[in-house]
A and B are shown apart, each in its own frame.
Chain A
Amino acid sequence: MPQNPTAGVSLMTGNEAAARAARLARVQVVAAYPITPQSPVVEQLSKWVEDGELACEFVAVESEHSALTVCIASSTVGARVFTATSSNGLAYMNEQVWWAAGARLPIVMAVVNRSLAAPWNVLNDQQDSMSERDAGWIQLYCRDNQEILDTCVQAFRIAETVNVPVMVCYDGFLLSHTVMPVDVPEQAAIDAFLPPRPKPLTVVDLADPRNIGQVTLADPRANAEGAVCHGYMELRALHQRAIVQALDVIPRVDAQYTEAVGRSWGGLFWEDRLDDAQIALIAAGSLATQLTVTVDALRAEGIRAGVLGIRAYRPFPVAALRAALAGRGVALVFDKALSYGFGGPICNDLRAALCGRADAPVVFGAITGLGGRDTTPDDLADAARRALADHDAGVRERADDWLTLKL
C-alpha cells in the first residue's frame, strides 16, 4: 500500500479526518449508505479504493441496516471493518447496533451527530447516538477534527482489546464540514501502534465448524462432550465486564498513542481550568470546546469556572468523575439530547454517579442546541451565571434550563 501522501499538517474537515483514520488503520471492509452529514466520509473511502490507494472491499449497500450487517458479517470472519452514519441512519441500524455488540465484534463506526426526525432537520444535536446508549457499544465523543482522526485510530485498538464495538461520535457540520488543521501521522507510526486485528472470539473455520450466535438459553447448558457452556445471562455479564474493563483500556490506549504519535486526548474525559473551579461546565463534543471560550469570559468576571469534556460516555467513568468533581460547588451539564419525560442523558447519568457523595457538587441540567439551535458562548455563560445564582440562593434541585427557548 502506498504511504500516506499527506502525512503532516493539512487543512481538512472532520469527515475527511475520519476517513483518513480508517485508511491509516488499514480497514479491510467498508460498507456504507449515504446520509447527510456523514456521506463525505464514505465518498472519500470509496474514491481511495477505486484509485487503488486503499486495499479494501468497499460495499455500497442499499440501506444502513445492510451497512452494519455487512460490517457484522465481515467482522465475524475476522476482517477489520469500518462504517459511518448519522441520525435516522443510525436509528434504522438499531437492531444491528445491538447485534454487533452482543456478537462482541470490534467494529468501529463514526456517528456524525445529527438530530432525529420527525420533523426533518439535518443539523446537529446528539440525540442519535445518545439513543443508543444502552446498546452495549463504547461511545467516544470528539471535540475537534484532530481528535476525530486520533480517536478513530485509537478506537480500533480499544475495540480489538475488549471485543466491544466503538462509536466515534462527532458533531455534524460543526466538525464534519468545518475545515481545521489536522496533523496526519505517518503510516509507519500507526502501523507500530495498531497491529493487525487479533483472532476473533469465535472463529469461522471449516476444520472447527461453529454455529455462531444460535439460540442460547438463559441457563448454562452442556455441550456434546458434557462441558457446561455459558447461558445468555453469563454472556451478558461478560459483555458488561468487557465494557467496564474499557475504563482502563481507553486511557491506556491513549497513552500508547501518545508514545507512538505524540498526542494525548486525556482518555475518559478532559479538563480545562477545573482544578480551582467553583462551577464545572460539562458537555460532550464540540460544545465542550465552546465552553472553554465561555470560561475565558467567566474568569474575566472573577467567576472560577472550568470545563469537563466527556470523551467516554459509555462506559461512563463514574469513579474518575467523582474524583474530578469532588469539592466543586456546582456542576452544570449541557445536553444536546433528551430522554423524553426525564431530562438530559449526561446530566442524569452524572446525578446517578454522584448520588450520596458528601463531597459532590449540586448538579444542574441545561438542554441546548436541539436541531442545530445556535448557542453562543454568551448564552452558555448566562446559563452558568443563572446556575451559580440559584446555587447561592440555596436551590439544590431545579428543572432543566432550556437555553434560548422562545415559548
Chain B
Amino acid sequence: MSVLPKRAATWLPALLLSVAVLGQVGADAADGKDLAGDTTIRLSTSAHEPVTPIPVSVVLDSGKVALGHALFFDRRLSGDNTRSCAGCHQLPPLKASRPLEGMSTLQGDPPRSVPLLYNSGVLFWYNWDGRYRTLEEVISGAVTQPDKLATTWKALLARVEADYATRFAALYGQGLTVEQVTDVLAEFLRSLNTPNARFDRFLRGESNVLSADEASGYALFKEIGCSSCHSGVALGGNFFERFYIYDHAGEESEPRLQDQGRYYLTQDESDRNVFRVPSLRNVAHSAPYFHDGSAPDLEEAVEEMGEHQLGLVLTEEQRRLLVVFLQTLSADHQGVKP
C-alpha cells in the first residue's frame, strides 16, 4: 500500500541528482578539464626531455602487496611444486655503485634473456616480443606456459587455497579467484620500482647530480638518436623496433638473427627480427645484454647498438660517455627476500 509514495520519494531525489550530475558533467566538459578525473600531472621540466623520471610514489594496497609477495615466493605456483616466480626472477639487492654480474640468464624456446623485474610496473609492453600489454596478462601467461610455471589456474588455486583462502577473504571478502591472485601478484610487482637513480634526480631538477661526462653522455644519448627508441619513463619498453636495422655484408647469417621475434606472434613479414625496445633502467645490473645475452658488457652493447640500430660507428670516447651515462640509470634497492 505504501509502496507508491515511498518509491516516489526515492525516485525524485534520484532523478534530480542525475540531472544535477549531468549538468555538472556538461560544465566540466565546457571547462576542458579531464573528465575521467585523470590526475596525471605532466611535469614541465621533463616536457622537452625524452625521458620521464620514475614516479616517487605509487598508490598500493599493502595487503595485496604482502599477499603477492608471499605468492611470488611460493613454489606451489608451479605445476610440479618446485618453482616459484622467484625461481627465475630473482630480486637481489641493487647497489648503484656495484653492478650485479651474470644476472640475466636465458630461458625458454627460443632462449631469451630473463629480465630483472624492478620497475616492471612502468612498462607498456612485456616480454621480448611484446606478447602482453599489462602485468596481469604477464602473470596469467606465466602460469600456463610450459616453460614457465606450467600449470593450470584450477590446479594452482587448488594447491594454494588452503593456505591463502582466509587472507584473500580478508582482502576481497571471498575466496581465491584467478583475478585476485593475478591482482595481488601485479600489485606486488608494482611495488618494485626503483625511483631514485641519479638520472631521475637529475630529471627532477638536481642539475648537478650528473658529472660532466655523464651529462655529456646523456647529450650524446639524445643527439645520436638512442633516446628515439629508449624514451619514456623506462627508457624503452614502450614500442618495437627491428634488431639490426643497419646491417652489413656477411652478417645475414648472424646466429642472433635466427630468433624472428615478434614475427612468431604476428606472422607479419615486417615483424621479422622485431623486438620490444628493452628498458634501460638498471641496465648496468643486467649483463649480458640483448634478448639472447650475446653482448657481454655495456660497452659492446652500446657499440653494437650504434652500428646496427643507428648506422653509426661510435668512437671509443662516445662509447665511454654513453656507458657512463647508462650507469646513472642504476638505483639502489634493498632487494626482496621470501
B partners with A:
no
Chain A residues close to B by CB (< 8 Å): none
Chain B residues close to A by CB (< 8 Å): none
